[in-house]
Amino acid sequence: GAIADASAPALLVAQVLGRMGNYLNQELFGKPTDAWYGLEVERAFRPLNYVDTTYFQPTFAFEAGMNLILAGLFAVLLVRWKDRAPGVLFPLYVGAYSVVRIIVEPLRIDHANEWLGVRQNVWVAGALIALSLIAAVSMQRRYRRALSSRPAAS
């Protein structure tokens, strides 16, 4: 329980570091953009159908930023949420990260399998959100029932 809870903010920070690797490798960027925050991608790293496009959505940076915010939130929950079920932060992390994926996936231009015109990763993330919420609510309910069924201290 405690290790699963502590892993939530730690995994998010690790994912932030991994996304910085995407910046260095000039990979996992998104659709073309002319916005001020557009990422300049060297010609050698651009997809063939975008070889004449210079600036792209920095989707890895969007994900890294959201993950950093979530890491802070989960660190606060780890310290301040005293009556949580042991391990409940882990399924909440899975669900929160899946929300990030749903936000970022539609911006990406790399190949992905699709179901009904939607990237497969979005479907998987949606399923993980549902499953993680079911798991977290179930864990918290069982924990509270167990606490309430304990005999009162005299």
Q: pLDDT for 43-52, tens place per residue?
A: 999 999 999 9
Contact, 143 vs 85, CB < 8 A?
yes
Residue 100 in domain: yes
Residue 138 in domain: yes
pLDDT mean over 117-130: 96
Is 12's pLDDT higher than 70?
Answer: yes
* Residue whose pair of structure tokens reads 């063939």 in the numeric block: 48
Is 149's pLDDT higher than 90?
Answer: no
Closest CA to 88 of 25, 32, 141, 17: 141
pLDDT mean over 118-132: 97
First CA to last CA distance, the chain: 28
Is 53's pLDDT higher than 80?
Answer: yes
Q: What was the pLDDT predicted at 110?
A: 86
Q: What was the pLDDT predicted at 154?
A: 61
Residue 64 in domain: yes
Residues whose CB is less than 8 angstroms from the CB of residue 91 and which lie 6 or more positions away in sequence, other chains included: 131, 132, 133, 135, 136, 139
* Full domain range(s) for residue 130: 2-148
Residue 118 in domain: yes
Q: How many Å apart are CA 83 and CA 123, to the nearest integer?
A: 32
Q: Which long-range contacts (C-beta less than 8 Å, at least 24 apart) are formed by 49-54?
A: 50/109
Task: Report the domain count for the chain.
Answer: 1
Residue 68 in domain: yes
Residue 154 in domain: no
Of all residues in the chain, what percent carry a pLDDT higher than 90?
A: 90
pTM: 0.89
Is 80's pLDDT higher than 70?
Answer: yes
Q: How many Å apart are CA 22 and CA 18, to the nearest integer?
A: 7
Residue 61 in domain: yes
DSSP per-residue letters across 141-153 = HHHHHHHHTSPPP
In this prediction, residue 153 has a pLDDT band, given cuts at 50, 70 and 90, of low
Residue 153 in domain: no
Which SS3 state, helix, strand or coil, does residue 41 take? coil
